Chain A
Amino acid sequence: MTEDLSALLARTEAELAAAADLRALDAVRVAVLGKSGSLTALLKGLGTVPAEQRKDRGAALNRLKGAIEAALDARRVVLDAAALDARLAAERMDVTLPPRPFAAGTAAEGGIHPIARTMEELTALFGAMGFAVAEGPDIESDWHNFGALNIPDHHPARQDHDTFYLPEANGRRPVLRTHTSPVQIRTMITQAPPIRVIVPGRTYRADHDATHSPMFHQVEGLVIDRGITLGHLKGCLVDFLRAFFGISDLPVRFRSSYFPFTEPSMEVDIGWSRKTGELGQGGDWLEILGSGMVHPKVLANCGIDPREWQGFAFGMGIERITMLKHGIPDLRPFYEADIRWLRHYASSPLAPATLHEGV
């Protein structure tokens, strides 16, 4: 760049730095790039430059134009931000003012999400059976989510979990919990038996399609006591399922299965009609939850002697039982916060789930 052009750039930059507001900025722009601006004049004068220098001169002018435009833009961002700050400062309000004595909406317009409603119902029903609600973090250690539950690193069951991982920290790899079962572990470590807890909560798996969401909800149940048998597990689940779905003779079927953290393990089906979706009749079976007697290794991992204490655990998908109970056909809208869907499926905040009013 020749001397005259360097000088023009330096001068413009100085003027831009001095421009205190957008109006001043625009004045600089017009003075350089406007119809009779200094750079515009140089560009117009290009025709008078000797042919052999014209190419170099033209290129230099273009570079200069680019540099000036960039400087203008940079300054504009700064001034825009300052203008916004000034506007916001002028808009200051007294936030110590008391709020309105009434809300912007009413209970008739508001609503409780169906997932929260189901959790309330779970709490009411299992609460009646002496269960307390336990909670745990979404971000878990590999040990809480897998190792303690008898799922070592190489276990084929890990493939089914589609785990989300967070960056390794201190040689350990945190995960987003793939089930609510790690809270079993937390409870057994911190609490001496007898234990009766349910754990409703968020869970995460790297799976996203019409029937899977990367975030969903499960409820875990854990009972540890003396003399608890598989018969109690069946009784507890039958009692719950019939009360939850409000069908006193709901058919419930138990099938042998396998989970690393229970033994014996079983999957539980309820009777329904595949054709109509109606529960309780129709002769078809719908898998609804997994369960089993807590594996001796899991007890021992938490310091509980399996010769003395035994019990059961179960886990089910909250969305699944919610969809079944209310006939909600699609999983994905649960998380989309579409106000039309929410209004349609929400329950009233003034009618919480209680046993005496009915869940």
Chain B
Amino acid sequence: MKFTLSWLRDHLDTEAGVDEIARTLNAIGLEVEGIEDRGAALASFRIARVIEAVQHPNADRLRALRVDVGDGRELSVVCGAPNARTGMMGVAALPGAFIPGTGITLKAGEIRGVKSEAMMLSAREMGLGDDHSGIVDLPADAPLGESYVKWAGMDDPVIEISVTPNRGDALSVRGIARDLAAAGLGTLKPWSAPAVAGAYKAPLNWKIEDPRACLWVLGRAVRGVKNGPSPKWLQDRLVAIGLRPISALVDITNYFTFDVGRPLHVFDVAKVKGTDLTMRMARAGETLVALNGKTYALTEEDGVIADAAGPEALGGVIGGEHSGCDEGTTECFIECALFDPVRIALSGRRHDVRTDARARFERGLDPAFLPDALEAATRMIIELCGGEASEVSFAGAEPAWKRSATLRFDRVRDYGGLDLPADESVARLARLGFAVQARDAEKVTVAVPSWRNDVAGDLSAYRAGGGTLTQFEGLDPARAAKAAEGQAAIEPECDLVEEVLRLGGLDAVPAVSLPAVAVIPPPAFTAKQARAALARRVLAARGMQEAVTFAFMEAKTAALFGETPEALRLVNPIAADLDQMRPTPVASLLLAAARNAARGFADVALAELGAAYRDITPDGQAAVAAGVRHGATPRHVAAPSRPVDALDAKGDALAVLDALRVPMAALQVTADAPGFYHPGRSGVVRQGPKTVLATFGEVHPKVLAALDLPGPAVAFEVFLDAVPDPKRRKKGAPDLPPFQPVRRDFAFIVEEKVAADALLRAARGVDRALIADVALFDVYRGKGVPEGSKSLAIEVTIQPREATLTDAQIEALADRVVAAVVKATGAVLRA
């Protein structure tokens, strides 16, 4: 919402300057978006007359001017403008003035032997456009010596505020003035609309065929009008706020929209078919060619204003082209109507029409203001266009909007946090137009003014925004009813507390630190949240850079990584390659690795704690700690570079699980990882038969090719939701036997297909008490090992429990280890 300072002063009697006005607007909730003071930089420039312009004696392209700058002096000016001529009126700058278009401060000087004591300005030099073809050429009657800015009407700053959706009343200069006056910044000037007598019977009748289409409408004709251009003051105001002047009649309706927040429409009576204007719902198949030149296909949910030929306007949203006024109009018919805000909002959105009328109607207008607005508009039309008015025709009636609200004075303190005297609370409300109906020591009851639809509104009132209760369906009915009762009782009072606080500015409320819940507060994280934080640190500590990537990606790419159900595809993606909720963060990370590789950074390790999406339910969103490594490890004297491999990814996944205190010994790895992994170089980490904790492996070559990744790439996923809470916080007693352990090495030849894990488990299972650990320390293929087999070397740690073991006991145990391994894996002990 834009307005000029002088426009505001039409309604507000105030001494305050722009800065103070802006500060107050900000404090009371009318946020200032910007102030454009077009004249400030040009304030010193005066209207001057060229007494004489002659050729410069020493320069072909320059002219020597004698200029009357209006203060009695006659100055010599050297000027390069081709249009400089004797007798012309222009704009002069004197030494010391800053020239905005050139960024230079003017100094008196001498150019080729002729003094230059001032400067005649072009439009570009004043920063008023690109015209530099010559100096500004003003009309002959421009007042010599007067401020150019003032003469040109640019000494009026334009203020733009953003109006919140609840404040339809502030989408008008008068509404803003009212708020400022209430905040103590001056006095609201009176506004009245003396009735204009009707000279003839209205040529058009209103009919409300469907109350959904319109609540109340008034109209009257003015005949004998001449619809030329509107006067300069009106055009200047409209231009200043960014509107294009069209014709007097149209400009008047626009002026009312912004001046008093009352959208109007004017029909050309000659163009209306029949004598009835009907408010009804549109019929299937009807269309409207609107004032913006677009054709709208109306629906049965749209309210229209129709004549005998069909819809002439989408009521409250946009008028029709056909019946609008133009230069040839001699009799106009003013429409002043009240529409259902909800229907306007939905119609406007359905057809994507954003008009000044819609913005006001959907926020709610003053439902009592229609008769006055119509009288004032009639008067202004007659003033600017001549003619005489008809009687008023109408349909419907003023809605029952009157309501009151009660404020308990202590609530300003106990809800609003501000200890304010009761009298001040009442005074603030009164200044906003809330009339006191009853008052005692504890509370005041006020009547809500007609223009404040946002205060104490309910369904019986004419109001926008708000909305009714939509309680959670699963609530216990008694609890729901009690809460609803509480809301009905307390909401109007909250509205009043807000008004009282707002007018004084919220900076007046003292800040109070929250009372402590406990001297030492409980942990902010749940166990699950703490796990995610720890996983993040573990991965970063393993050299991974944590990334944050979009949760959506191209459906085609997502399909490489898992299910891409239609239910998870955005209806309105911002770009075609951001339409599918991803099946795993690994997908996003590999895309990121590809972008890095394309920039010359192929060796990356990226991790993300993000979501994988399975379905639209809350449980369908899995928390995943994922990571990818691509390329090779860094080159270093102490450790040569090598390509990343599946065991790196396995190491990452297991490091996370270990840090989260998952019992590692009980985990199993199976070879059934998802399809985006290399089928022979990937695994699934399981806890028991059902719980999948993680996946890891090399990325499938097909996926690498599809993403343009040179490879090799490995990835992992840890499913944080699947990780169980640790059973106990306390650890059991440590195992500290007094006897030295004995370590024995074994090497077995097994077929390639035998998993090392199977061999280790077999060895461990021989004696849970005596065998403390079994570790694989070598895998060998080659000489001495048959083709298709491998040698696995393990170290078995034997921990005596009761007494030192004899050699015979150790040998017996070793034999049992060999036997168990042979039985489980078909191995042969290597000689």
A-binding segment of B3-11, B25-33, B377-385: B25-33
* A131 vs B522: C-alpha distance when bound (angstroms): 9
**By the criterion CB–CB under 8 Å, are B525 and A106 in contact?**
no
B647 and A97: CB pair below 8 A?
yes
Partner of A143, one of B363, B470, B548: B470
B-contact bits for A295-312, CB 8 A (1 contact / 0 none): 111011111111110100
- Asked if B517 and A104 sit within 8 Å, CB to CB, the answer is no
Q: Assess whether A300 is in contact with B471, with CB atoms less than 8 Å apart.
A: yes
Let me know if A245 is at the binding interface, CB within 8 A: no
Task: Determine whether the beta carbon of A95 is less than 8 Å from that of B514.
Answer: no
The interface-forming segment of B222-230, B330-338, B500-508 is: B500-508
Contact status A306-B621, CB under 8 Å: no
List of A residues within 8 angstroms of B599 by Cβ: 338
Question: In whole Å, how far is A216's beta carbon from the nearest beta carbon of chain B?
Answer: 10
The count of A-to-B residue pairs whose CB atoms sit within 8 angstroms is 415
In the complex, which residues of chain A have a beta carbon less than 8 angstroms from the beta carbon of B683? 95-96
- Asked whether B513 is an interface residue with its Cβ less than 8 Å from the other chain, the reply is yes
**Complex partner residue of A223 from B484, B514, B552, B702, CB under 8 angstroms:** B514
User: Which residues of chain B from 70 to 124 have any CB-CB distance to chain A below 8 Å in the complex?
Assistant: none
Q: Determine if B736 is an interface residue (Cβ-Cβ < 8 Å).
A: no
List chain B residues, Cβ under 8 A from A327.
Answer: none
User: How many chain B residues touch the partner (CB < 8 A)?
Assistant: 152
- Alpha-carbon distance A85/B117, docked complex (angstroms): 90
Residues of A within 8 A of B479 (CB): 303
A254 surroundings in chain B (CB, below 8 A): 506-507, 509
Chain B's nearest CB lies how many Å from the CB of A98? 6
Nearest-neighbour CB distance to chain B for A217, whole angstroms, equals: 8
Collect the chain A residues with CB atoms within 8 Å of residue B321's CB: none
Query: A residues within 8 A CB of B506?
Result: 230, 234, 254-256, 264, 266
B572:A165 contact, CB within 8 angstroms: yes
What is the bound-complex CA distance between A123 and B526, given in angstroms?
A: 12
Q: How far is the CA of A338 from the CA of B682 in the complex (A)?
A: 27
Report if A336-B592 is in contact (Cβ < 8 Å); known contacts: A104-B633, A293-B494, A300-B471.
yes
Out of B29, B544, B651, name the residue touching A257 (CB < 8 Å). B29
Q: Give min CB distance, A138 to chain B, whole Å.
A: 6
Q: Is the CB of A91 within 8 A of B678?
A: yes
Q: For residue B104, give the distance in angstroms from its CB to the closest CB of chain A.
A: 22
* The one of A84, A97, A300 that contacts B776, using a Cβ cutoff of 8 Å: A97
CB distance from B791 to the nearest CB of A (A): 13
Q: Chain A residues with Cβ under 8 A from B723's Cβ? A: none
A253 to B483, CA, bound (A): 33
Using CB atoms, name the residue of chain A closest to B592. Answer: A337
**A230-B416 contact in complex given A89-B680, A91-B680, C-beta closer than 8 Å:** yes
Checking B482, B573, B589, B776 against A98 with a beta-carbon cut-off of 8 angstroms, the contacting residue is B776
Partner of B165, one of A153, A174, A260: A260
Q: Which residues of B contact A295 (CB under 8 A)?
A: 491, 494
Is residue B221 contacting chain A, with contact meaning CB distance below 8 A?
Answer: no
Per-residue B-contact encoding for A150-176, CB less than 8 Å = 1, 0 else: 111111110100001111010000101
Q: Which residues of A contact B296 (CB under 8 A)?
A: none
Q: CB-nearest residue of chain A relative to B589?
A: A337
Given A97-B776, A336-B592, A349-B536, are A263 and B495 also a contact pair (CB < 8 Å)? yes
Judged by a CB distance under 8 angstroms, whether B303 is at the interface is no
Closest residue of chain B to A266 (Cβ to Cβ) is: B506
* A50 located at the interface, meaning its Cβ lies under 8 Å from any Cβ of chain B in the complex: no
Instruction: Answer whether A99 and B648 are a contact pair too, CB < 8 Å, given A231-B509, A234-B417, A235-B513.
Output: yes
| Partner pick for B613 among A110, A131, A139, A229, CB 8 A cutoff | A139
Known: A253-B507, A255-B27, A257-B164. A337 touches B596 (CB 8 A): yes
Q: How far is the CB of A337 from chain B (nearest CB, A)?
A: 3
Structural contact, B702 and A84, CB atoms closer than 8 A? yes
Stretch of A12-20, A36-44, A340-348 with 4 or more beta carbons under 8 angstroms from chain B = A340-348
CB closest residue in chain A, given B416: A230
Task: Tell me whether B548 and A93 are in contact (CB under 8 A).
Answer: no
Known: A99-B651, A263-B495. Is A227-B470 also a contact (CB below 8 A)? no
Q: Which residues of chain B are within 8 angstroms of A346 by Cβ–Cβ distance?
A: 540, 545-546
CA distance A299 to B475 in the complex (A): 12
Whether B766 is near chain A, meaning CB under 8 Å from some CB there, is: no
Q: Which residues from B are CB-within-8-Å of A95?
A: 646, 650, 669, 671, 681-683, 696-697, 755
**In the assembly, what is the distance between CA of A176 and CA of B551, in Å?**
10
Are B529 and A234 in contact, with the CB atoms below 8 A? no
- Interface-facing stretch out of B52-60, B233-241, B601-609: B601-609
Q: Is A219 an interface residue (CB 8 A)?
A: no
Q: How far apart are the CA atoms of A254 and B779 in the complex, in Å?
A: 69
Report chain B residues within 8 Å CB of A336.
Answer: 592, 595
Q: Flag whether B65 is at the interface (Cβ < 8 A).
A: no
9-residue interface stretch from B244-252, B341-349, B796-804, B810-818: B341-349
Do the beta carbons of A214 and B550 come within 8 Å of each other?
Answer: yes
Residues in B whose Cβ lies below 8 Å from that of A215: 550-552
Cβ contacts A267-298/B at 8 Å (1 or 0 each): 10000000000000000000000000101110
Bound together, the chains give a CA A97 to CA B529 distance in angstroms of 31
Q: Kindly list chain A residues whose C-beta atoms are within 8 Å of the C-beta of B26.
A: 255
Q: Determine if B793 is an interface residue (Cβ-Cβ < 8 Å).
A: no
> Is B560 engaged at the interface, CB distance under 8 Å to the other chain?
no
Residue from A107, A267, A299, A335 in contact with B549 in the complex, judged by beta carbons closer than 8 Å = A335
Q: Tell me if B494 and A263 are in contact (CB < 8 A).
A: yes
- Bound-state Cα–Cα, A299 to B485, Å: 12
A302 and B479 alpha carbons, distance in the complex (Å): 9
Return B513 CB to nearest CB of chain A, in Å. Answer: 4
- When the two chains form their complex, are residues A258 and B167 in contact, meaning their CB atoms are under 8 A apart? yes
Asked whether B526 lies within 8 Å of A133 as measured between CB atoms, the reply is yes
Whether B618 pairs with A136 at a CB distance below 8 angstroms is yes
Interface status of B637 (Cβ within 8 A of chain A): no
Whether, in the assembled complex, B312 has its beta carbon less than 8 Å from a beta carbon of chain A, the answer is no
The smallest beta-carbon distance between B635 and chain A, in angstroms, is: 13
Give, as a whole number of angstroms, the nearest-CB distance from A301 to chain B: 5
Min CB gap A230→B, angstroms: 4
The answer on a CB contact under 8 Å between B651 and A123 is no
Task: List A residues 121-138 near B (Cβ within 8 Å).
Answer: 123-124, 126-133, 135-138
Q: Which residue of B lies closest to A129 (CB)?
A: B514
| Residues in A whose Cβ lies below 8 Å from that of B618 | 136-137, 139
Partner of A150, one of B466, B616, B697: B466
Residue numbers in B under 8 Å from A126 (CB-CB):
524
CB distance from B411 to the nearest CB of A (A): 10
Does chain A have a CB within 8 A of B568? yes
Min Cβ gap A109→B in Å is 4
Q: Is A352 an interface residue, CB under 8 A from the partner? A: yes
Give the residue name and chain of the B residue nearest to A124 (CB): B524
Contact partners of A339 in chain B: CB under 8 A: 545, 596, 601, 604, 606
**A27 proximal to B (CB < 8 A):** no
Which of A94, A235, A256, A260 lies in contact with B511, CB distance below 8 A? A235
The yes or no answer to A202 lying at the interface (CB within 8 A) is yes
Q: Verify if A208 is at the interface (C-beta below 8 Å from B).
A: yes
Q: Is the CB of A297 within 8 A of B487?
A: yes
Does residue A88 face the partner (Cβ distance < 8 Å to B)? yes
| A235-B514 in contact (CB<8A) | yes
Point out the residues of chain B lying under 8 angstroms from A89, CB to CB: 679-680
The answer to whether B512 touches A229 (Cβ under 8 A) is yes
| B156 within 8 Å of A (CB atoms) | no
Nearest CB to that of A174 among chain B residues?
A: B616
Min CB distance A35 to B, Å, is: 33
Q: Is B498's beta carbon under 8 Å from chain A?
A: yes
Q: Which of B16-51 contact A (CB under 8 A)?
A: 26-29, 31
- Kindly state the separation between the CA atoms of A156 and B359 in the bound complex, as whole angstroms: 8
Select one of B349, B362, B547, B570 contacting A113, CB under 8 A: B547
Q: Which of B460-503 contact A (CB under 8 A)?
A: 464-472, 474-476, 479-480, 482-487, 489-491, 494-495, 497-498, 501-502
A–B pairs, 11, beta carbons within 8 Å = A98-B776, A148-B472, A156-B363, A164-B573, A206-B574, A214-B578, A234-B511, A256-B27, A295-B494, A301-B471, A349-B537
Closest 8 CB pairs of A and B: A105-B543, A231-B417, A92-B680, A256-B29, A96-B757, A127-B524, A99-B651, A258-B164
